[in-house]
Amino acid sequence: MVTGSFTPKNKNIAFLFPGQGAQHPGMGRDFYDHYPEARAVFERAAEILGPEIVDTIFSGPGEKLEQTEFTQPGILTVSMAIYRVLAGLGFKSSAFAGLSLGEYGALVAAGSLSFEEALPLVQKRGIYMQESVPVGQGKMAAIMGLDHENVEQICLEAQVEGVVAPANYNCPGQIVVSGNKKAVEKAVELARLAGAKRITGLKVSAPFHCELLKPVEEKMAAELEKIEFKPALVPVVSNVTAEFVYEPEEIKRNLVVQVSNPIRWEQSIRRLISAGTGAFIGLGPGTSLSRLMKRIAPELDTRAVEKVEDLEQFLNN
């Protein structure tokens, strides 16, 4: 049973796990200090990857934490620490979803793979993704105020300058594009001419979720074959298909192609809603997922648990 005052009319609650970009030094430290369940996750991460990972999560510096080999296992560790605390308090989820990297957290929570397997896996994922495109040759930008079809057409026109394509369908009126630097800049120029309300360049180290990362697929496939995935005990929505996945082979196939294909986050949330999900809890650093939810389904109850004080307000109000 759900603890506290979070009692939406529909008891089906989905837990959401954030992706890269939500990181910041000090994330999760208050959960480490206050909850033994969280402390155990951080200590296990230090055993698996060495104490440097926890030191970087808590103390940075920020430039180091932004390196994907630290970012990805760092966010996964913090998200799972918070999840374990909520699970210990009796919170139950009828489904899970995670944005890009967050899909690994969702699969751990669903029992498809262990934290011990996922942590080194996402660290390698981060390294492979960074190695795929030299720093400075790729770019990502968030385009606000245009619909999916407009952005897709803009990307097609901008491909005269190189690779550029939608990378994240975040919410209505917000799509991230990714690709070669010149091609993304051309898409940004065309988006402004088309009436985009706002365009923001993303501080990322590589152009994620586009065909430039195609070489990563073979490396990820080899790593995933080393792991024995189990059927998901709770439904997980795949970023690639925006459909529920349960079976190990399907889960692995989707994780392989995820690195070079667009993240269909808005469609994933709508799939959860169509299945009866009536409330959402975002777990981990940052509040971006709850902000996106306000754009996708503002009528539904959505909470973000990033800090201990968030959880205390959650339980006491």
Q: Tell me which of 100, 112, 132, 268 is the catalytic residue.
A: 100
CATH topology of domain 138-204: Alpha-Beta Plaits (3.30.70)
Q: Tell me which of 178, 209, 260, 268 is the catalytic residue.
A: 209
Question: Is beta strand 198-201 parallel, antiparallel or unpaired with respect to 174-180?
Answer: unpaired
Q: In whole angstroms, what is the distance from residue 255 CA to residue 105 CA?
A: 12
pLDDT at 314: 78
Q: Residue 34 catalytic?
A: no
Nearest to 199 by CA among 191, 210, 211: 191
The three-point CA angle 257-281-74 to 5° equals 55
Q: In which element (H, E) is residue 124 found?
A: helix 115-132
Q: Residue 112 catalytic?
A: no
Strand stretches in the chain, DSSP E = 13-17, 95-98, 138-144, 164-171, 174-180, 198-201, 236-237, 244-245, 279-283, 301-305
Q: In whole angstroms, what is the distance from residue 51 CA to residue 134 CA?
A: 28
pLDDT at 22: 87
pLDDT at 317: 65
pLDDT at 141: 96
Nearest to 224 by CA among 113, 150, 131: 113
The residue ranges of every structural domain in the chain are 13-132+212-316, 138-204
Beta bridge partners of 280: 14, 302
Q: What is the pTM of this model?
A: 0.93
Mean pLDDT by 10 residues, the chain (317 residues): 40 91 94 98 98 97 91 97 95 95 98 97 94 88 96 98 97 96 98 96 86 96 96 96 96 97 98 95 93 94 93 81
pLDDT at 4: 38
3-state secondary structure of 146: coil
3-state secondary structure of 84: helix
Q: In whole angstroms, what is the distance from residue 23 CA to residue 239 CA?
A: 20
Strand stretches in 132-278, DSSP E = 138-144, 164-171, 174-180, 198-201, 236-237, 244-245
The count of other CB atoms within 10 Å of the CB of residue 156 is 12
Contact of 58 with 25, CB cutoff 8 Å = yes
Q: In whole angstroms, what is the distance from residue 277 CA to residue 285 CA?
A: 23
In the CATH scheme, what is the code of domain 13-132+212-316? Answer: 3.40.366.10
Contact of 187 with 155, CB cutoff 8 Å = yes
What is the C-alpha R_g of the chain? 19
Please list, in sequence order, all residues whose beta carbon lies within 8 angstroms of the beta carbon of residue 253, skipping any fewer than 6 positions away.
none
Q: In whole angstroms, what is the distance from residue 9 CA to residue 27 CA?
A: 32
pLDDT at 11: 62
Q: Longest C-alpha distance within the chain, in Å?
A: 56
Q: In whole angstroms, what is the distance from residue 30 CA to residue 275 CA?
A: 35
Any idea what DSSP says for residue 212? G
